[in-house]
Amino acid sequence: MRLILLGPPGAGKGTQAKRLEETRGLVQLSTGDMLRAAVASGSPLGQQAKRVMEAGELMPDEIIIDMIAERIERPDCRNGFVLDGFPRTTRQAAALDQMLEGKKANLDAVIELAVDEGALIERISGRFSCAKCGAGYHEKFKRPKVEGVCDVCGSTEFSRRKDDNAETVAARLEAYRGQTAPILPYYEERGLLRRVDGMADVDEVMRQIEAVLASV
């Protein structure tokens, strides 16, 4: 199965993509995570990504398209994948179609996580993750079971994303409205777009996604 999760920053794309990886064995392809790995490596691409991400802007299409084209060729993607954060522009959406055509493969669904923008700031500002294994948490919605200790690996160190401050989030939302939301009609016209209520709790969002997947 090949899916896209679409939605603004903080809509829950990463949360649900990780669940789909666990429950269905779909590989999570997060362009944001790939770029953060490049930043951590200190490579020239990472230095560029650091500047762009901290400004809340989008990386150039050609860089992102090459990154995904290389990634979906790897053997682990043969059983399916869930795209999280890609495509984000009409050019990226068209490039994805070409990549899939070349593999004689189709998209099964494009799932929009519909959310209320006002709630996103709270979601994003409360987010943190384990500095060692990357497990995600939230101050209000998902605290570690033992305060200050990662549920997954037991580490006591946590970190926050540099682009999760109010100013950058405003720019990220602007980029979503101006450059990403316009691709929704592209998928709607092809009968691929399905909406789920991204404001429901995490388990309910997952149930709605599963209902969509059962119908495709």
Q: What gap in Å lies between CA 215 and CA 150, rounded to an integer?
A: 36
Determine the angle formed by the axes of helices 166-175 and 117-125, rounding to 10 degrees. Answer: 140
Query: Which residue from 3, 11, 95, 196 is in contact with ligand AP5, where contact means CB under 6 A?
Result: 11
Total residues interacting with ligand AP5, rule: CB under 6 A = 34
Stretch that binds ligand AP5, among 38-46, 70-78, 136-144, 181-189 (CB under 6 A): 136-144
Catalytic one among 2, 13, 19, 194?
A: 13
Q: Which SS3 state, helix, strand or coil, does residue 81 take?
A: strand
Q: How far is the CB of 185 from ligand AP5 (least distance, A)?
A: 18
**Cis (ω within 30 of 0) for the bond into 8?**
no
64 near ligand AP5, judged by CB under 6 A: yes
Is 190 annotated in the active site?
no
Residues 6+ apart with CB under 8 A from 152: 130, 133, 135
6 near ligand AP5, judged by CB under 6 A: no
Q: Which residues of 1-18 are buried (b: 16+ CB within 10 A; e: fewer)?
A: ebbbbbbbbbbbbbbbbb
53 near ligand AP5, judged by CB under 6 A: yes
181 near ligand AP5, judged by CB under 6 A: no
67 near ligand AP5, judged by CB under 6 A: no
Stretch that binds ligand AP5, among 2-10, 40-48, 70-78, 100-108 (CB under 6 A): 2-10
User: Do 74 and 37 contact (CB within 8 A), yes or no?
Assistant: no
156: phi then psi, degrees, rounded to nearest 5: -110, 10
Determine the angle formed by the axes of helices 202-215 and 13-24, rounding to 10 degrees. Answer: 60
Query: Which residue from 2, 4, 15, 196 is in contact with ligand AP5, where contact means CB under 6 A?
Result: 15
Q: Dig out the tokens for 81 from the structure.
A: 């994948």
Q: Which amino acid is at 67?
A: M
Is 127 annotated in the active site?
yes
**Positions that interact with ligand AP5 (CB under 6 A):** 7, 9-15, 31-32, 35, 52-53, 56-59, 64, 85-86, 88, 92, 123-124, 127, 136, 138, 141-142, 163, 172, 201-202, 205
What positions carry a catalytic annotation? 13, 88, 127, 161, 172
